[in-house]
Amino acid sequence: MAIDLEPILDLRLSAGIKGLPASADGLRLGEVGAQGWNLLDGSIPLPAAIVRSSVLAANLHAFQAYIDQAGAKLAPHGKTSMCPQLFDRQLAAGAWGMTVATFSQAMTALTYGVKRLLIANELVGEAEIRALAARQDAAPDSLIISLVDSLAGVDRLEAILASAGATRPFEVLVELGIPGGRTGARTRDIALAVARRVASSPVLALRGVEGYEGLIVTGDAVEDAKKVNAFLDDLLGVFNICRGEGLFTGEPILSAGGSAYFDLVARGLKTDGLTPLLRSGCYLTHDTGFYNRLLAHVGERGVLGPAPALKPALEVWAQIVSHPEPDLIIVNAGRRDLSDDAGLPKVEYHATPGPRASAQPVEGWAFFRMNDQHGYIRLPTGASACIGDYVGLGISHPCTTFDRWPVLLEVDDAYAVTGALKTFF
């Protein structure tokens, strides 16, 4: 399942793209790695977002190996990066297909060659449904699956598909939800009623059952795991009833699993003759905050052995623009550049730019506040920093950092630029 990367690598860069030097103007994206740039030598304007190539590759293979050994399949959530270049690597490493959340994300994935696509959301817009039905009819080798969670949603989807004259049944999964959560049927009985309704439709095909357990995060890891396991039991129960009634078309799919409880999902959804499909996405670059803490719980549970050895691959580098107080520095990166929905960034490195610059790990540098374009860092006693120096920031929640960057630089372990990654948000 190859991604068509040539149109992306042929894209021409223009002046003013954040994190790229002025000399990038007119370059093809695929030419970036041959320019001899280095993040730390002063030639690249900051802030800049980078992905460390060696760490990314290690994460990619460690997580896929974990899923394979667990006897599951993986459809990574593409919303994390929205970067077809990374989709290509995930698929090459053994992913079953890709997951997305929205119509625009789906069209991006399909445009660049994804053949198996799970849209982990309910489709209700007429324009979106018609476009996807036409896309599916035009590509017999493609598989597009979306979600339904109500009889009203099934009625709407069915009516639009019928009026569009779709020639292939549109495949769906029934979504089971969590009380107080977001989408998903709130009870087993509702989910089963939706499943039976889909199975009777002339334009829909019931392919399986789906849920998302990642909303169960309270800070109490033991209680959270109990609630996740109970939800997975409910999900498996709905699936088994549907299978017993012969409601499914084709090889059935049972799917759950974000980046928090993938171990519990891989274990909890195993059933006779079925391989569970997980949809984790943040594993690819991991982080220094939210998902790093959740990964530690995977290791503590040990339900499938040791946790995969994931490390942070995504960093945002910024420059010190002010040192207004002895223990305070201000850097030129803020909410326009960094996620803060799952915790503030963590200062990982300090560097003085120049031809021989290197990233020096730091401890105790506290990133405590940010505005649109500025971040505030409190220095520990004895720390030395100068205006013009660089700081390397680890982030918490990759999804909401990737979407702030149209282009990220891929670097080697010495921060030499080896390529550029284009996102499509």
* Strands 204-211 and 253-256, sheet pairing: parallel
DSSP assignment of 107-136 equals: HHHHHTT--EEEEEEE---HHHHHHHHHHH
Rounded to whole angstroms, the Cα distance separating 211 from 235 reads: 7
Residue 152 CB burial class (10 angstroms; 0-12, 13-18, ≥19) = exposed
List all residues 6 or more positions away from 81 whose beta carbon is below 8 Å from its beta carbon: 87, 281, 284, 285, 398, 402, 421, 423
Helices within 48-125 (DSSP H only): 53-69, 84-92, 103-111
* Angle value at C-alpha 209, between 208 and 210, nearest 5 degrees: 130
Residue 19 CA to residue 333 CA, distance in Å, equals 11
Per-residue model confidence (pLDDT) at position 142: 93
Q: What is the DSSP letter of 209?
A: E
Name, in order, each residue with C-beta under 8 angstroms of 37's C-beta and a sequence gap of 6 or more.
Answer: 21, 43, 44, 409, 416, 417
pLDDT of amino acid 219: 82
**What is the predicted pLDDT for the residue at 292?**
96
- The pLDDT assigned to 227 comes to 95
* CATH entry 3.30.300.30 includes domain 71-281: no
Give the residue range(s) of CATH 2.40.37.20 domains in the chain.
5-52+311-422
What does DSSP say about strands 48-52 and 407-411: parallel, antiparallel, or unpaired? parallel
Residue 189 confidence (pLDDT): 98
In terms of Cα–Cα distance, which of 78, 86, 81 is closest to 107? 78
- Tens-place pLDDT, residues 21-62: 999 999 999 999 999 999 999 999 999 999 999 999 999 999
Low-confidence ranges of the chain (pLDDT < 50): none
Q: Looking up tokens 């860069």, which residue turns up? A: 13
Tell me what pLDDT residue 192 has: 98
**How far apart, in whole angstroms, are the C-alpha atoms of residue 215 and residue 181?**
7
Tokens found for residue 312: 């942070």
CATH number for 5-52+311-422: choose from 2.40.37.20, 3.40.50.970, 3.20.20.80, 3.40.50.12780. 2.40.37.20
Residues of the chain with CATH 3.20.20.10: 71-281
Q: Looking at the whole model, is its pTM more than 0.75?
A: yes
- What's the Rg (C-alpha) of the chain? 23
pLDDT at 218: 87
